[in-house]
Amino acid sequence: MTEVNARTRDFFDRQVIYLIKAKYGMEDMKAIRSFLFSETYQMLLDPLTEVYSFSPQIVFEMWESEMITGNPRNSQYIRGGENE
């Protein structure tokens, strides 16, 4: 796979942006920009990371971790649970 296809990108765009708006009450354009210009989104577009195989909720949690800590890799789904 050389790139994540448009249908997959559209699915994640819609789902994750919906979650951002629902939790944070952001306006449409602010939520869209926040996601599309994030490192999380760049990871989603990179087929080598296989982020597209995660659920939208996990991608949302990665975005949220990035907004809080500055790095989506701080997501509990990337680094693993604390009690494992």
Give me the mean pLDDT over the 50-69 stretch. 97
**Three-state helix/strand/coil letters over 29-81:** HHHHHHHHCCHHHHHHHCCCCCHHHCCHHHHHHHHHHHHHHCCHHHCHHHHCC
CB atoms within 10 A of CB 62: 27
Band of pLDDT at residue 2, cut at 50, 70 and 90:
confident
Closest CA to 72 of 16, 15, 7, 10: 16
Q: What is the pTM of this model?
A: 0.90
pLDDT at 57 over 70: yes
Band of pLDDT at residue 3, cut at 50, 70 and 90:
confident
pLDDT reported for residue 47: 94
Residue 83 DSSP SS3: coil
pLDDT reported for residue 82: 53
Query: What amino acid occupies position 10?
Result: D
pLDDT at 4 over 50: yes
**Which residue ranges make up each domain of the chain?**
6-74
